[in-house]
């Protein structure tokens, strides 16, 4: 094993132990760094001091010119993920007094402003109203509770799927959730969301601890009890995504709706109503305000209304 390979392994262990990164994050860093180390090996580079700007420049050219299995180039944001992983690795080396290229000398490629898709208030109403067409009562109650909760809390779909019945109390409009980076934040249920969740749980006859579970449309609770299946499995993020797409179609919403669309809609709704950006950052669980700022360009409508209301009044 080369020197760089050994240091990469130590870096990944550092992410796991000291930084408490998720397995998926570590897997991604491993993938990105493996690509760089393979390239460095081709250039006969095997130690940290040999990593220079010219090597990084050639690596980024190789990334930009590479093609995937479908013959498409790597997206610029994906290329930046590779560079971010490399910079983190170099910072780790510097922190441990290992001579190498300073991470701050590597700049990320400038990308176009991220476009966020969200639902207007009328579209949110149509999405939730579409649930009424579901003939099975327990599924109808569950799906309404899911939609109401997503829009009310701005939860990530993985966070929603992991909720337990004990965590979401029937008499409380708030509850803690563990998000990215193992960080805990408080989210809030609107009154309509709380009622929808309570109504759903009131009709549950199983013993599962999961807040949202799978239900078979044509199987009664008594039949499940007889089969020993009175602890249905929690819904997966993929299942929740399918549920949302189903009601978007029924509601006549042309946009490509995902659970994250409702998270975007939650943030946009707050900002358009005048919420402070820092408060929205806290509720979304963003570690950096920069991430939350992707929503600010969506509030131009409110700024336009303020301009129309106040600008030039004294000069007329």
Same domain, residue pair 158 and 58: no
**pLDDT at site 227:** 45
Catalytic residue among 35, 180, 204, 246: 180
Q: Which of 105, 134, 154 is the last residue of a domain?
A: 105
118 among known catalytic residues: no
How many domains does the chain divide into?
2
203 among known catalytic residues: no
**pLDDT at site 39:** 97
Same domain, residue pair 24 and 92: yes
Same domain, residue pair 50 and 167: no
252-310 per-position pLDDT tens digit: 998 889 999 999 999 999 988 888 889 999 999 998 888 888 887 666 655 666 666 66
Residue 315 lies in a domain: no
What is the three-state SS of the chain? CCHHHHHHHHHHHHHHHCCCCCHHHHHHHHHHHHHHHHHHHHCCCCCHHHCCHHHHHHHHHHHHHCECCCCCECCHHHHHHHHHHHHHHHHHHHHCCCCCCCHHHCCCCCCCCCCCCCCCHHHHHHHHHHHHHCCCHHHHHHHHHHHHHHHHHCCCHHHHHCCECCCCCCCCCEEEEECHHHCEEEEECCHHHHHHHHHHHHCCCCCCCECCECCCCCCCHHHHHHCCCCCCCECCHHHHHHHHHHHHHHCCCCCCCCHHHHHHHHHHHHHHCCCCHHHHHHHHCCCCHHHHHHHHHHHHHHHHHHHHHHCCCCCC
| CATH code of the domain covering residue 99 | 1.10.150.130
Same domain, residue pair 185 and 284: yes
313 among known catalytic residues: no
Same domain, residue pair 295 and 151: yes
260 among known catalytic residues: yes
295 among known catalytic residues: yes
29 among known catalytic residues: no
Same domain, residue pair 101 and 229: no
State which residues form the domain around 172: 121-305
Does pTM surpass 0.75?
no
Residues of the chain with pLDDT under 70: 111-115, 217-230, 297-316
Residue 115 lies in a domain: no
Alpha-carbon gap, residue 84 to 88, rounded angstroms: 6
């Amino acid at each position: 094993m080369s020197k760089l390979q050994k240091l990469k392994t130590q870096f990944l262990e550092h992410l796991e132990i000291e930084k408490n990164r998720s397995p998926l994050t570590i897997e991604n860093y491993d993938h990105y760094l493996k690509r760089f180390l393979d390239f460095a090996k081709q250039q006969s580079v095997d130690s940290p001091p040999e990593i220079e700007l010219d090597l990084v420049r050639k690596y980024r050219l190789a990334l930009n010119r590479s093609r995937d299995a479908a013959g498409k180039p790597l997206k610029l944001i994906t290329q930046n993920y590779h560079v971010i992983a490399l910079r983190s690795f170099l910072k780790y080396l510097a922190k441990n007094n290992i001579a190498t290229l300073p991470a701050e000398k590597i700049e990320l490629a400038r990308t176009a402003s991220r476009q966020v898709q969200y639902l207007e208030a009328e579209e949110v109403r149509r999405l939730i109203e579409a649930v009424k067409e579901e003939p099975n009562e327990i599924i109808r109650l569950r799906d309404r509770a899911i939609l109401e909760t997503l829009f009310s809390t701005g939860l990530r779909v993985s966070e929603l799927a992991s909720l337990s019945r004990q965590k979401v109390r029937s008499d409380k409009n708030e509850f803690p959730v563990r998000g990215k980076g193992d960080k805990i934040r408080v989210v809030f249920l609107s009154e309509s969301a709380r009622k929808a969740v309570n109504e759903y749980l009131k009709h549950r006859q199983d013993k599962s601890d999961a807040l949202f579970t799978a239900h078979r449309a044509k199987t009664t609770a008594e039949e499940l009890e007889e089969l020993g299946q009175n602890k249905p499995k929690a819904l997966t993020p993929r299942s929740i995504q399918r549920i949302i797409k189903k009601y978007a179609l029924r509601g006549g919403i042309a946009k490509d709706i995902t659970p994250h669309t409702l998270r975007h809609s939650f943030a946009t709704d707050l900002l358009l109503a005048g919420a402070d950006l820092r408060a929205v950052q806290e509720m979304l669980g963003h570690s950096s305000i920069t991430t939350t700022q992707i929503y600010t360009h969506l509030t131009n409508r409110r700024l336009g209304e303020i301009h129309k209301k106040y600008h030039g009044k004294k000069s007329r």
